[in-house]
Structure 1
Amino acid sequence: MENTRVHTSSVSLISDLKEITKVRLAVSVVFSSVAGYFLGAESIDLLTVIMLAIGGYCLVGASNAYNQIIEKDLDLLMDRTRNRPVPSGRMSVNTAFFIASFLTILGLVILYMINPRTAMFGAISIFIYVSVYTPLKTKTPLSVFVGAIPGAIPFMLGWVAATGNFGIEPGTLFMIQFFWQFPHFWALGWWLYDDYAKGGFFMLPTGKKDKGTAIQIVLYTVWTLLVSLIPVFGVTGKLFITPYSAVIVLALGLGMLYYAIKLYRDRDAKAAKKLMLASVSYITLLQIIYVLDKLIRTWI
């Protein structure tokens, strides 16, 4: 009986650690960083890739843990968040704060070991997310613009980790992920509008599920697509994609635009969910295409 309780407790602790660090979100962020590294590296150093993945996961996990501490009372009001470790009472605020602080220090140390600039951008990301974006979420829809900054850093962070420098190449990667976040998060905010409203979060640009929000979603989807195609024109330094890859990115972008226009036309939660899922597919496939394009050109 005692062994069963210990096993259950251990499983519960691991589950809570995964939830407080938002493991799926953290893994997707790490994926972006690693993709950026492959794009920037002249030769792949496996140790650096591992350090980037671990350091990146630590900082994202810490950001999410701090966020859940700050919003614990609001999380309790929403259906999708009330069972999180802190608001549900399974984990104390002190324990969550210790985890967040430990992950912050560990993540920054690991990224600093790669190079100081990588650690600097990592520190900027967690500071903006926790100290600026999180408090603004209940104050103004403009919080999404602020949150897009730390959200766009991971893709460029990988390039900085590979080169130690910041220039037009990581700047372009930053802009791609920056613009992408608006249709992604506004679609999510539309889909979960009622639940967000329970916690006092109004994530949509007009604060409502209306024509104005739908138009902005379409416009930012177009801008995301246009920025994604810039590297094909050879104006972004060492960051370049072939016309073949550009055609694939264009097709993916048009697919995402289709769902954005469908949301504008239907203006319902179902269309918003489809756009949100399409946006996730778009950014993931774009990063894979960018990396494969470089690898194929290198092999040929």
Structure 2
Amino acid sequence: MEEIVKQPSSLKFAGKLQDYKLLIKFNLSFMVVFSALISYLLAPKVKEFDWVSIGLFFLGGMLVTGSANTINQIVEKDTDALMKRTANRPVASGRMSTQEAWTFAVLAGIGGVLLLWHFNFLTAALAAFSLFLYAFVYTPLKKVSSISVLVGAIPGSLPCLIGWAAGNDDLSIGGWVLFALQFFWQFPHFWAIAWIAHKDYTTAGFKLLPSNEGPTKYSAIQAIIYSLLLVPVGVLPYFIGGENGGMSGMVGLVVVSIANLAMVAQCVRLYREMTVKAARRVMFSSYIYLPVVLLSLLASKTQ
């Protein structure tokens, strides 16, 4: 008779914790909430760091984003199972039931929206709208048309407006400038990922690149166009939003301009080389771009 070896409870807890980390796509959620938090701190009405408010905002943002990512994994569990990069996700692999995932998604979504209501109704409403748009419009649209990337860029940029609304109690021009920066940034960022994982995405039935033929010159040109749009948008924080003529100072202007030109250069390189290696450079550049740009704006924020 075989002896049944019981897994220690500490290992079970660690495994479950890891599954929930995968479920909410922790790294992605953190990056999303990071952009929202910096946008909150950039709002002119926020004059100092209130760590209680920052903590509440961060927790609320993580819950809402985690809920959206959980629903995404529930809806895509069958296609996730087909792709190497996503097959180990808890719902796709069968380690977590869809019922458990739905329970978490509902509780996290409601809890996150209520926490953000602490700031104002506008913040909570935008968060709820972003969750709905990402989970129930963008996610199923990925199998229908590459227009899903455009649709997905809206909830992907709303964290900037959510943060601005929380800090400034309105949707004034500064928030829309930050929205535009993150909106245009997403296209070269996401298309680079889709370029690298094209075979996986095609196997799963996702249509994400702008060209129906996949990684083509047309797709690379589109990445260049959207990276070029970042250049004029990037100078706007220096000229609008603050009492002294801008929501951010000269340091922000210089750093953002250099970062924008670097993104354009990487996208042009992708067009010239047409390789996965070049696409990976665009992807890594985009990962660096966002924190550098947002932190430089915050560092030179005008009062």
Give the TM interval when normalised to the shorter protein: over 0.9
Whichever residue aligns with residue 278 of structure 1, its letter is S
2:47 to 29, 36, 42: 42
Question: Bigger CA drift: 240-249 or 120-129?
Answer: 240-249
**Is residue 263 from structure 1 mapped to residue 270 from structure 2 by the alignment?**
yes
Distance in 1 of aligned mates of 2:297 and 2:208: 30
Distance in 2 of aligned mates of 1:262 and 1:224: 17
Distance in 1 of aligned mates of 2:28 and 2:83: 19
Distance in 1 of aligned mates of 2:111 and 2:180: 28
- Which residue pairs with 1:251 in the alignment? 258
Distance in 2 of aligned mates of 1:133 and 1:30: 19
Residue 102 of structure 1: how far off its partner (Å): 0.7
Which sections of structure 1, spanning at least 5 residues, go unmatched?
A: none
- Which residue pairs with 1:225 in the alignment? 231
SS in structure 2 at match of 1:205: coil
Superposition pairs of residues 50-199 of structure 1, within 5 angstroms:
50-199=55-204
Distance in 1 of aligned mates of 2:91 and 2:7: 24
Distance in 2 of aligned mates of 1:237 and 1:200: 47
Cα contact 1:69–1:93 (8 A) shared by 2: yes
Distance in 2 of aligned mates of 1:4 and 1:182: 45
- What TM-score does the superposition give when structure 1 sets the normalisation length? 0.95
Distance in 2 of aligned mates of 1:288 and 1:213: 30
Distance in 2 of aligned mates of 1:264 and 1:23: 32
Distance in 1 of aligned mates of 2:86 and 2:6: 31
Deviation readout 1:102-161 (Å, 9 max, x if unpaired): 100100110111211100110110010011100100000000000000000112211111
- Which residue pairs with 1:214 in the alignment? 220
Cα contact 1:168–1:237 (8 A) shared by 2: no
Cα contact 1:36–1:158 (8 A) shared by 2: yes
Identity %: 37
Cα contact 2:63–2:112 (8 A) shared by 1: yes
- Which residue pairs with 2:15 in the alignment? 12
Residue 3 of structure 1: how far off its partner (Å): 8.0
Residue 4 of structure 1: how far off its partner (Å): 4.8
- What TM-score does the superposition give when structure 2 sets the normalisation length? 0.94
Number of positions where the alignment pairs a residue of Structure 1 with one of Structure 2: 295
Residue 5 of structure 1: how far off its partner (Å): 2.2
Residue 236 of structure 1: how far off its partner (Å): 4.0
Distance in 2 of aligned mates of 1:46 and 1:235: 27
Residue 2 of structure 1: how far off its partner (Å): 7.9
2:25 to 6, 9, 22: 22
Distance in 2 of aligned mates of 1:126 and 1:12: 27
Which sections of structure 2, spanning at least 5 residues, go unmatched?
A: none
Q: CA RMSD in A?
A: 1.5
Residue 210 of structure 1: how far off its partner (Å): 0.7
SS in structure 2 at match of 1:202: coil
Residue 166 of structure 1: how far off its partner (Å): 1.0
